[in-house]
């Protein structure tokens, strides 16, 4: 199943470097994953209504349930 993983560049709970390493492992394993790092965002802040992630995540989710085309795998970028 495709994954969407996003985090804040200033995350104080899960270090961004750990997130990047996790994504690299998923990509190496062939897991389709879309990912994004949001500058000036902390752990919980990335999901606040003012975050740039929210519209992207909602559209990605809508397309998944609607079986529409979307950028699922950023590993090949």
The pTM for the full model equals 0.82
The string of pLDDT tens digits covering residues 17-71 is: 999 999 999 999 999 899 999 998 999 999 999 899 999 998 888 888 886 666 6
Containing 8, the helix (H) or strand (E) segment is strand 3-8
More confident position, 14 or 70: 14
Dihedral angle computed from the Cα positions of residues 27, 30, 32 and 34, in that order, rounded to the nearest 10 degrees: 10
Q: What is the pLDDT of residue 2?
A: 81
Q: For position 75, what pLDDT does the model report?
A: 85
Query: Residue 15: its pLDDT value, please?
Result: 96
- The secondary element (H helix, E strand) that includes residue 4 is strand 3-8
């Amino acid at each position: 199943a495709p994954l969407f993983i996003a985090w804040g560049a200033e995350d104080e709970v899960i270090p961004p470097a750990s997130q990047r390493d996790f994504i690299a492992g998923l990509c190496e394993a062939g897991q389709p994953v879309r990912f994004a790092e949001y500058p000036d965002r902390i752990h919980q802040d990335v999901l606040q209504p003012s975050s740039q992630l929210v519209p992207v995540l909602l559209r990605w989710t809508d397309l998944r349930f609607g079986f529409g085309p979307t950028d699922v795998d950023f590993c090949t970028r």
